[in-house]
């Protein structure tokens, strides 16, 4: 494993964001891919213990998205980091960005009943602020 990735993943903010991403991805997967084989994700963040004993249960397609997102979060150059949807850098490749946007729009509101009340509220507030700014 890349030492830089392992170092970044020791940062509590990066770990928390990564866990949130994983939980949001799991909500998406459970609602869209319930008919697929879904297993606890195998990834570098999981290997580092970021998800503790609660690795998100995902299909292989969603596991790939999460592995990609783990890397992007670890190497994010923004500090403070905005929500990716509102970032001017946009380090995601186009197809992954499209997936993340759709997944976050779906899972953000639903996360509020799944232990992410604060993250869900923040997501809504930031999305509204961004929508208002875009109209100006």
- DSSP code for 58: E
Partner touching 59 among Zn ion, ligand SF4, none, CB below 5 to 8 Å by kind: Zn ion
Task: By CB under 6 A, tell whether 89 contacts ligand SF4.
Answer: yes
98 part of the interface to ligand SF4, by CB under 6 A: no
Kindly list the distances between the CA atom of residue 38 and the CA atoms of 29, 31, 65, 79, in Å, as whole numbers in the listed order. Answer: 9, 12, 14, 34
Nearer to Zn ion, 14 or 63 (CB): 63
Q: CB atoms < 10 A from the CB of 3, how many?
A: 7
Inter-residue contact 75 to 6 (CB < 8 Å): no
Nearest to 21 by CA among 90, 91, 92, 107: 107
Q: Which of 9, 45, 55, 59 binds Zn ion (CB under 5 A)?
A: 59
Q: Is 67 in the site for ligand SF4 (CB under 6 A)?
A: no
Residue 22 near which of Zn ion, ligand SF4, none (CB within 5-8 Å, type-dependent): none
Write out the residues near Zn ion by the rule CB under 5 A: 29, 33, 59, 62
């Amino acid at each position: 494993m890349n030492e830089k990735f392992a170092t970044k993943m020791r940062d509590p903010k990066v770990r928390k964001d990564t866990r949130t991403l994983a939980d949001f991805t799991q909500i998406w997967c459970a609602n869209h891919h319930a008919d697929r084989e879904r297993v606890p994700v195998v990834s570098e963040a999981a290997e580092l213990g970021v998800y503790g004993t609660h690795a998100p249960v995902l299909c292989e397609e969603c596991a790939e998205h999460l592995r990609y997102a783990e890397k992007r979060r670890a190497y994010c150059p923004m500090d403070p980091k905005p929500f990716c949807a509102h970032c001017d850098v946009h380090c995601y490749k186009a197809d992954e960005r499209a997936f993340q946007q759709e997944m976050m729009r779906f899972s953000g509101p639903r996360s509020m009943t799944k232990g992410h009340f604060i993250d869900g509220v923040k997501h809504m507030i930031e999305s509204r602020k961004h929508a208002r700014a875009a109209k100006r």
